[in-house]
A and B are shown apart, each in its own frame.
Chain A
């Protein structure tokens, strides 16, 4: 299959899964913003996306996207490392037009992955997982938290300062990953030319920045105890 045994095919898989993940992040960010305006509204979203069949199916689809993206990421990076050969340059210099993030996508990806692990423990394991397994509800100060009370979990998680720091590092890694990844994905599909190069990079910068500010706002406002 050409998606596996050609370089452009493998890149296309990275690109399409990456774009789908960006779309997911966009929805996720939009839903988080609800928590800034209305706790009830946010918990309604949590209930809607609890252990209902469509939310479970979507979660499995999402997990598949991640697995494919990550497996290909390691595969491609390993192949590229080999293609580079055994001897490295003694002196190297990065030209100005080369983004730092573009050369460190795997490192950034691994940080993103660690963040996802933490995030699943903080939220998913106390929400959808509890519902699916009829497991024990999470307890804060002797009060059982309903698996659909996302707002309480947000407040609890970000009341610990180190979680605020970890999440902000995570969001920064996502910013770097996507600042390159966004336009790169379009380039990989072939939707680029001399005119669109700078347009795509500008859109990339704005889109990624707005996305990450949206995520960071929830962390910071809840972390500071304002909400």
Chain B
């Protein structure tokens, strides 16, 4: 059994996108180490509702690290101080008794705060709509063996495809750059045969959309890959740079 801990939660509260936000402190008593970070917030929210106060608004959905909905900037790290996990996979046993835990929303111009800890990440959907897909012919499905793919390529593409679009890369970046996300989405298709048809167009369109939405210029600080819950690497960014530069040179 994990032992119970007590700590102070310092949470960003903000009524709406335009409202001025501030930190509020909540003392937490006897939370079991086996409680997930989001469950801990649920416990606090139950208390707040019981007292007639507004519960803390935060994003979540699957609670098993696959949907990319949860966020939260915990003690200076997106998805908390532990590497390779999402906030929903973060457990209270990672924190110390008596500690103050500071919880902030993603802070970046591309992801404006909606309320409290919830931010608007539609920008990522818009970038995906600009080219993060493949066209598929309708009709009878083709034979599964007709498109052989080597194990190495398949692994590489799967690694890139593990990006869940959570936005921690932007949250971590001092330049508010979305390059890690966009490069993972471009990479997963650029190296597979199925992605070749739109390959050149995709790199140009997704980067153009990313720039248009006001994300910053990547200066290779590597904060994104250090904080990414899916360990997406900046080798994807190098590939995106290659794809984009060669696409532009062909024009």
Q: Say if the beta carbon of B65 comes within 8 Å of chain A.
A: no
Partner of B216, one of A5, A83, A95: A83
A contact residues around B23 at 8 Å (CB): 90
B contact residues around A20 at 8 Å (CB): none
- CB within 8 Å: A-B pair count: 144
A102 to B225, CA, bound (A): 14
Contact B218 A194 (CB under 8 A): no
Minimum Cβ distance to chain B for residue A107 (Å): 13
Contact B207 A6 (CB under 8 A): yes
29 A-B residue pairs with Cβ-Cβ distance under 8 Å, sorted by A, are A2-B251, A6-B207, A10-B217, A80-B174, A80-B219, A82-B214, A83-B110, A83-B214, A84-B107, A84-B174, A84-B175, A87-B21, A89-B73, A91-B75, A93-B75, A93-B76, A94-B223, A95-B77, A97-B222, A98-B226, A103-B223, A187-B241, A189-B241, A190-B239, A192-B234, A193-B238, A194-B233, A197-B233, A197-B235
Please give the residue numbers on chain B whose beta carbons come within 8 Å of chain A beta carbons, in ascending order: 21, 23, 73, 75-77, 81, 102, 104, 107-110, 112-113, 174-177, 179, 207-208, 210-211, 214-223, 225-227, 233-235, 237-245, 248, 251
B contact residues around A92 at 8 Å (CB): 76
A contact residues around B227 at 8 Å (CB): 95
Q: Say if the beta carbon of A85 comes within 8 Å of chain B.
A: yes
Contact B215 A184 (CB under 8 A): no
Contact B107 A93 (CB under 8 A): no
A contact residues around B107 at 8 Å (CB): 84-85, 87-89
Contact B237 A187 (CB under 8 A): yes
B contact residues around A89 at 8 Å (CB): 73, 76, 104, 107
Q: Beyond A2-B248, A105-B219, is A191–B238 a contact (Cβ under 8 Å)?
A: yes
Contact B214 A97 (CB under 8 A): no
A-B pairs, top 6 by smallest CB distance, nearest first, are A190-B242, A93-B76, A83-B216, A83-B176, A95-B226, A80-B175
